[in-house]
Amino acid sequence: MNMSAVFLGLALLLLVTMAAGLLRIIIGPSPADRMMAAQLLGTSGIGVLVLLSSALDMPALIDVGLIFALLAAVSVTAFTRRRIDQDPS
């Protein structure tokens, strides 16, 4: 059994857990639940990317994971910020 198959199997496992987390985005009662679920999926997505980069032998996929890690905060910040003329609600 070679290493890339092991990595691919692990990526598959992570993908299944991501699919389970997806349910929280679809049914999650409040918008905050959905946002948190999206953040969680982003983190597991980085894991899948790193595993795929070993399994498919594409080192550039690590850069994709790097960008995800760097920009993970953007959407959650955009979700919480209020404008100047807007009452906090």
Partner 1 sequence: MSLLLFVFDSILLLTLLGLATAAVLSPEPRNAVMLFIAFGLWLSLVWARLGAPDVALAEAAIGAGIGGALMLAAARRSARRDNRRDNRRDNRRDNRRDVSCQDAQ
Partner 2 sequence: MNRDLSLLIGILVSLLALLLIWIFYTTLAADPGPRLAPLALEQLPNSGVSHPVTAVLLNYRAYDTLLELAVLLAAILGIWSLGPAPSGFQPAGPALTVLANWIVPLAIITGGYLLWVGGHAPGGAFQAGALLGSAGVILRLAGHERAGLPNEAAQRWLVVAGVGLFLLVGLLLAVFGAGFLTYPKASAKWLILLIETAATIAIGSTLAAAYVGGRPPLAQSTSAASKDLGA
CB of 44 to partner 2, least distance (A): 21
The token duo for 74 is 């953007």
CB of 58 to partner 1, least distance (A): 6
| Four-point Cα dihedral 37, 38, 43, 49, nearest 10 | 130
- Note whether 68 and 41 are within 8 A (CB): no
Question: CA-CA distance, 19 to 30, in Å (whole number)?
Answer: 19
3 interacts with, out of partner 2, partner 1, none, CB within 5 to 8 A per kind: none
**Contact between 54 and partner 1 (CB under 8 A)?**
no
Residues engaged in binding partner 2 (CB under 8 A): 59-60, 63, 66-67, 70-71, 73-74, 77-78, 81-85
